[in-house]
Structures are given as structure tokens and as C-alpha cells.
Amino acid sequence: MAADNQKLQRHAGADRLFHWLMAATMLVLMATSLLPVLGLRFAWYGIHWVAGLVLTLLILLHIVRALFWQRPGTMLIRAADFSRRGAGKYTLAQKLMHLAWTVALLVAIVTGLLMLSKAGVPFLQRDPYVHSLSGWGLLTLLHDLAALLSVFLILVHVYFGILPEKRAYLRAMLTGWITRTELKPEHDLQRVERGD
């Protein structure tokens, strides 16, 4: 049996880099979309669509990596996740947070990409008539809802990330490692070792 203080790799360098690049991109996207709403006037649009494309690329890389280099099943919600100390690699709360971010970001990316044809970007012929006015309104509505959900999720995600009892997860996202002792309160170590 391995020692309790043995360091286990929780996140590979590529995944940590993805997480923090995505966080930085999200902050740029939120600032460039919501600061103008709050009354701060600046040329936000160019920065916003470039950051949106960066986020799209990051998410595509994440999906490819998750499907072919990682175990996507670790993010599926299973019955064992509801039992005390039954979590696999991720706890139920972490899986729900991932699911909520998946919904918010996929809606934001799909609607954002569709709206590029209205806005005029260097690589795309501008065509505001590709959708009706109500169609553009619906796309904007979904994009706005994704932004509002992101505001909520950023607050909750950062709060749980900095809680003292969850600090090991934050350290794992910075340095990559966690110990068995830190996993024991919420995780089934056999599931963790199986990569479940």
C-alpha cells in the first residue's frame, strides 16, 4: 500500500495550461462584454471576438485531448458519486461545475461563431441578412444568457477554489499533484487508482 503522503499526479501540465489559459480568456471575454454594459466605453469588440476565437480553439483542443488522451468517463456522473467518500477522480460538485461550464461555453461559442457573420471580421464576408432580425435576437439572447451564467459560475468556482478545505485541488491545478491523505475525505481511492 502506497504511503498516504505520496504525491499523485492529478493534472498533467497540458491540462493545467489549458485551465489557466481558459480562465484568462474568460476574464478577457467577460471584461470586454460586460464593462461596456456597466458604462465603461472602449473599443471592446475587436478584443472580444479574438478572445472568443482563442477560447474556441482551446475548447476544441480540450475536447480532442479528453477524448483521445484522457478518460472522459471520469466526468460522467455515477451512482457512487452520491455516497460519502465515494467519488472517483472528481467529486459530484466538480462534475456538476464542469457540466455547467460545458453548457455555458458551448452555447457562448456556437452563438458567438454564428454572430461573426453579422459583425464583420477580416476572414469572413459580412452578411447581416443571413438571419432575420428575430433570428439575430435569439442568437444574442442565448449568448447573453451564457454570459450571465458565466458570471454566476465564475463567482462560485473561484469561491470553492479558494476555500481552505478545498485548497489541495487549487494546488493540484497549479502544481499538478495531490496526496492520498488529501483525497481520502471525499474520494474512493480504489476508484481514483482505476482512473474512474
Q: Interface residues with another protein (CB under 8 A)?
A: 34, 37-38, 133-134, 137-138, 140-141, 143-145, 148-149, 151-156, 159
Q: How far is the CB of 143 from another protein (least distance, A)?
A: 7
Which residue type is seen at 81?
Answer: D
What pairing do the DSSP bridges indicate for beta strands 7-9 and 177-179?
antiparallel
- Among candidate residues 103, 98, 99, the one with its CA nearest the CA of residue 142: 103
Q: How far is the CB of 6 from another protein (least distance, A)?
A: 28
* Closest CB to another protein among residues 117, 175: 117
* Closest CB to another protein among residues 37, 124: 37
* Closest CB to another protein among residues 27, 156: 156
Helices 133-162 & 167-175 angle (0-180, nearest 10): 110
Q: How far is the CB of 40 from another protein (least distance, A)?
A: 13
CB atoms under 10 Å from CB of 100, counted, come to: 16
